[in-house]
Structure 1
Amino acid sequence: MLRYRPKSNPQVDAILNTQGLAFSPEAEEQAQNTYATFFEKHYEFYNRKIEWVWEQGTCEISPPDLPCFRTEVKRLNAKHKPFAVYWANSTTQAEFFDEWSRLGVVNAGGWHFNSEFNNRLRPYHWDVFMDGTRTARNIADYWCKKMQGKNATLAGDPALRATKRKLGILTQEYPVTQKNALDLYKMVTGGVCGSAADAAEPVYTPSNIAQGQQTANVAVQKLKAEGVTTLVIMSDPINPTFTTTAATRQQWYPEHLLAGSGLIDYDPLGRLYDPTQWRNAFGPGHLADPAPPERTDAFRAAADVGVRDNGAGGLIFAYMSMVASMVQMAGPDLKPLNVERGMHSLPPGGGWEATKNPLSILLKYGPGDYTAIEDSRHTYWDPNARSKIDGKQGAYVAFEGGRRFEIGKWPAGEPKA
């Protein structure tokens, strides 16, 4: 089983390092080895011994060198002949997963790619995070039941608070992400609710951190000129750093509707965004209610095998758990189609209705669904709250004790912040 570690980008690392979120290859490898021991101890692998290996990528991630990723996949396949591959923090590099699927290798990663991509590559492509199609449906359900047709009362600008809401949608300019934005746009302009007056056409930006601020300046200028009162960013977790800075520079203080995607509701990342903007952020959050490290699955798995978790492997544990489940559910005959049959036969796990536990995310697969997360909490950013994750100031606060809502089940009523 191969973990792909992308080539480091100094600008990305510098931003993440401000919150202690950039980890060394050695720390990640140590975490992976610890979790491998846990899965070997508790999962049924039918007398197989899984070898968990990793490779450092050589392709630029921002802007993504897409042809390079295809070449890299072929090289890694020739070297390792893996049964499965995962990349824990990919947001735009669809070519990487497409190439593995062409080679008949099970692969996991690609946050919030449109479900059409996942289904086209079945039974090979999977991901931990909610796909982009369901994410768009979830946002539309929240918008239509709570926000559409009402004034933008949660904006930072008093003039916008007295203005009827108009939604702006921002995402990366890649087919697997553009389709999500278009789906949402269609749903809120008549497909589910509203009309063409309720949203501006989606704005697409390149994934190029070297030009991130310049790109954000242009995007914000366009959104502001369109009369947008409420912005939803369906992107990677770095984008809001530039977009919120641009908004403040242009004295534009809209509502920030959380997409729930891209780890947008993770406390340390929220501190990267302009505080005069982010105090007006609220909406769906895909992550579980924050908890101290010792209450996370990764920490408890490490403790189970006598190791203190080093904090570098939260995402790694999530993806290893998915891959380990694939091997277990495939049964004695380990083939991609048996992985699909096994994973789709799993009953739903967790979720608010079954557990009443804010730390329990609903995980579910089924025909046409190749991603795990199926619900979200109702949350907002509080710049004064102390995070349960690291004790620092600035955290997301959930309503109703962290209650989670499945897609299509948001209650009607006013949004909260």
Structure 2
Amino acid sequence: MQPAHSGDDGSSSANLKKWGPIVGIVLVVGAVVGLVVATGGDDDDTTDTTAADTTAIDVEPDATEPEATDPDGEEPEDTDPEATEPDSTEPEATEPDSTDPDQPTGDITYPLSFAEAEEQGVAVEWGERCDTELGTVAMKWYFAPGCYAPFEGDNGGATATGVTADSIKVVQYLGPDDDPIISYLTDAIAVDDSNDEAEATLRSMLDMFSSYYEFYGRSIDYETYVSSGIANDEVTARADAVRIAEDFEPFAVLGGPALTNAFADELAARGIVCIGCTPGQPQAWYADRAPYVYGLAIGAAQARDHGREFISKQLIGGNASFAGDEAYQGQPRTFGHVYLSSSPESPALADDFVSGLTADGADVVEVLPYTLDPGSIQQQASQIVAKLKSSAVTTVVIAGDGVAPRDITREATAQEYFPEWVLVAPALSDLTAFGRTYDQSQWANAFGVTHGAVPVTPEESGYFALYRWWTGEEPPAADTIGVLIPNMALLVSGIQQTGPDLTPENMSAALFDGPTTTPGITEPFLSYGERGYWDGVDFSGVDDAALIWWDESAEGPDEIRKDGTGMYVFVDGGTRYLPGEWPTESALFDPAGGITIYEVAPAEETPPDYPSPAG
């Protein structure tokens, strides 16, 4: 099927830029969606669909009411049931009803996970897709989900918009190939995946998910939509959302414009689930649009909370010992904050972050925004560096994209300014592929917080390895597979956990009530809902972080398998920290215990070596 377009121009060649909405989220963590994928074993049931030869349990789903408006500014009508607050405690498996002596001993309610079946003593024919020793599907993947009982019976038919008895309509958003903003982001690292290669990769992975996941008698009707709007075009973004809603009537949309939340806002107002369809937003923004919008990466404010904790525990009150300028090295740290302003929420996020640092005792003397404008970034960089140098800032805390540091560091060298560079809430700047493009005399003094995990050789781990295991071949979109798949993986996981009664409200309950992933070193820790890590309900995925520093002489492959010099080093083997767990000391710039990449994952993070379905 040919993709739909929002304009007259076709899309014959494609590269990483069209995946801008999730590029900064996912390249760092090849399996960023694993949170729900790995939660299949113990989640509570959310539907009441029974079948013969199975034992009944009945749990009402939680739902959260959206506060979005429709395009005319009116409240959407009849789009949500009465909302309830998600349970803030870890879920417990629901016990089968034993009060009715006439209840059949073989009936269950879908969805039924392997762990629930074991606990309830229900016999299930799991089939070849399930590893009954582990209770997970037999996929060679760290995030292989728990097995779910194969469905038999009536799935309820049209349970929601885009859902029928036989199918679930899903639309993949693609940005235009000639978007100057996204091109600016991706030209620094050359990739040559075509649109056809991306489509082939996506459909092959969808075939894999469909073979191992339980969709309760339905298949996914998958289509693509190519926009004509650039990454920050709010008008086109909202028009695209309207057209997708009216022409396709989907249950869910994957992806969206990189630098505006208008697309997600419009879809939520129309009662359509969208995943990875907006740049990072404060959690209150997601809550106002629940249960429709989900992020994959850590939340914008959450990432800054990690940065604040690291800085407060390890940097405030000390000298700028990692600065390139020897004069700075003996001086107490004076901070400046440089941040990307990409939405109306950006200044508020920066103000809250700086206020927190100041409350912790930091001397913050400059707060400098920049915009992602290729035509003016050089001028912005010159002005930013001049102000930082004039204010004698020893330590620059930068929260931004992957390319602007190239211009800023080059300008810093031109102005003979050599401070410490501290990464907080990075979006691509914590990737080796981008770090190699920065002025190395500057970046040799860079370190900070990443929410990505220490990488493993792509042929051995992540989506690249998973595709090759499934097909026996390398993915057609070999460079960008880590960007293409995660939104889809989160959606299919949510569908499986929800059960036959598929609605946005029920899927939200399944995500919020399911258990978290297992903490690791080569994968992030992920959760949704109220888990105690953050205040309120968490609509984002990643919760933890690691510490990195730049080694300009290290050699090896980057995230897209390109060998080169200069790599990020993960401190203490890639140890990860949840909020409140950051230590007061770290081995920054100490090669002992540092790691750039694992050739193979640690044994406890290596999945079983199941035979490839391709033979």
Give the number of the structure whose residues are more often helix, by fraction.
Answer: 1
Name the counterpart of 2:525.
362
User: Cα gap change, 1:116/1:401 in structure 2, threshold over 3 Å: closer, same or farther?
Assistant: same
Contact 1:220 1:247 in 2 (8 A): yes
Name the counterpart of 1:404.
576
Name the counterpart of 1:155.
323
Within-5 A mapping of 1:9-408: 9-10=179-180, 12-13=182-183, 16-21=186-191, 23-61=193-231, 64-87=232-255, 91-109=258-276, 110-173=278-341, 174-190=343-359, 193-194=360-361, 198-306=363-471, 307-310=473-476, 311=478, 312-352=480-520, 358-367=521-530, 368-389=537-558, 390=561, 391-408=563-580
Contact 2:185 2:402 in 1 (8 A): no
User: Cα gap change, 1:415/1:292 in structure 2, threshold over 3 Å: closer, same or farther?
Assistant: closer
Distance 2:399 2:350 in 1: 7
Write the deviation string for residues 83-124 of structure 1: whole angstroms up to 9, x where unpaired: 111227x54311121111111111122343222222222211
Name the counterpart of 1:7.
176
SS at match of 1:204: strand
Write the deviation string for residues 195-225 of structure 1: whole angstroms up to 9, x where unpaired: 5xx1135322222122221122222222333
**376-385 or 143-152, larger mean C-alpha shift:** 376-385
User: Cα gap change, 1:171/1:21 in structure 2, threshold over 3 Å: closer, same or farther?
Assistant: farther
1:258 to partner: Cα distance: 1.5
- One-letter amino acid matched to 1:151: N
Contact 1:73 1:96 in 2 (8 A): yes
1:369 to partner: Cα distance: 0.4
1:141 to partner: Cα distance: 0.4
Distance 1:166 1:120 in 2: 38
Corresponding residue pairs, total: 405
Name the counterpart of 2:4.
none
SS at match of 2:220: coil
User: Cα gap change, 1:301/1:247 in structure 2, threshold over 3 Å: closer, same or farther?
Assistant: same
- One-letter amino acid matched to 1:396: Y
SS at match of 1:384: strand
User: Cα gap change, 1:86/1:223 in structure 2, threshold over 3 Å: closer, same or farther?
Assistant: farther
1:341 to partner: Cα distance: 0.5
User: Cα gap change, 1:286/1:403 in structure 2, threshold over 3 Å: closer, same or farther?
Assistant: same
**334-343 or 387-396, larger mean C-alpha shift:** 387-396
1:136 to partner: Cα distance: 0.8
User: Cα gap change, 1:14/1:26 in structure 2, threshold over 3 Å: closer, same or farther?
Assistant: farther
4+ long deviations beyond 4 Å: none
Write the deviation string for residues 299-338 of structure 1: whole angstroms up to 9, x where unpaired: 2331342142232220222221111122222221111111
Contact 1:111 1:129 in 2 (8 A): no
1:178 to partner: Cα distance: 2.5
1:415 to partner: Cα distance: 6.4
Distance 1:292 1:415 in 2: 24
- One-letter amino acid matched to 1:392: G
Contact 2:253 2:272 in 1 (8 A): yes
5+ residue gaps, structure 1, are 353-357
Distance 1:337 1:38 in 2: 26
User: Cα gap change, 1:132/1:260 in structure 2, threshold over 3 Å: closer, same or farther?
Assistant: closer
**286-295 or 16-25, larger mean C-alpha shift:** 16-25
Distance 2:510 2:297 in 1: 19
1:15 to partner: Cα distance: 6.1
TM-score by length of 1: 0.91
1:155 to partner: Cα distance: 0.9
- One-letter amino acid matched to 2:568: Y
- One-letter amino acid matched to 1:43: Y
1:414 to partner: Cα distance: 5.3
User: Cα gap change, 1:324/1:261 in structure 2, threshold over 3 Å: closer, same or farther?
Assistant: farther
- One-letter amino acid matched to 2:413: T
Distance 1:99 1:246 in 2: 40
1:403 to partner: Cα distance: 1.1
SS at match of 2:230: coil
TM-score by length of 2: 0.63
User: Cα gap change, 1:22/1:246 in structure 2, threshold over 3 Å: closer, same or farther?
Assistant: farther
Contact 2:366 2:391 in 1 (8 A): no
1:135 to partner: Cα distance: 0.5
Distance 1:350 1:53 in 2: 33
For the pair shown, which has the larger CA radius of gyration, 1 or 2?
2
SS at match of 1:138: helix
Contact 1:257 1:283 in 2 (8 A): yes
Distance 1:224 1:120 in 2: 41
Distance 1:15 1:203 in 2: 20
1:139 to partner: Cα distance: 0.1
Distance 2:345 2:501 in 1: 32
User: Cα gap change, 1:47/1:59 in structure 2, threshold over 3 Å: closer, same or farther?
Assistant: same
User: Cα gap change, 1:154/1:127 in structure 2, threshold over 3 Å: closer, same or farther?
Assistant: same
5+ residue gaps, structure 2, are 1-169, 531-536, 590-615
Give % identity. Answer: 27
1:10 to partner: Cα distance: 4.8
Distance 1:388 1:402 in 2: 17
Write the deviation string for residues 148-197 of structure 1: whole angstroms up to 9, x where unpaired: 0111111111122122112222223322332322221111011xx115xx
SS at match of 1:381: strand
Name the counterpart of 1:355.
none
Distance 1:69 1:49 in 2: 28
Contact 1:264 1:285 in 2 (8 A): no
Distance 1:25 1:156 in 2: 43
User: Cα gap change, 1:281/1:91 in structure 2, threshold over 3 Å: closer, same or farther?
Assistant: farther
- One-letter amino acid matched to 2:572: E
Contact 2:304 2:425 in 1 (8 A): no
- One-letter amino acid matched to 1:87: G
SS at match of 1:202: strand
1:236 to partner: Cα distance: 2.0
Distance 2:297 2:181 in 1: 25
Distance 1:106 1:379 in 2: 35
User: Cα gap change, 1:91/1:222 in structure 2, threshold over 3 Å: closer, same or farther?
Assistant: farther
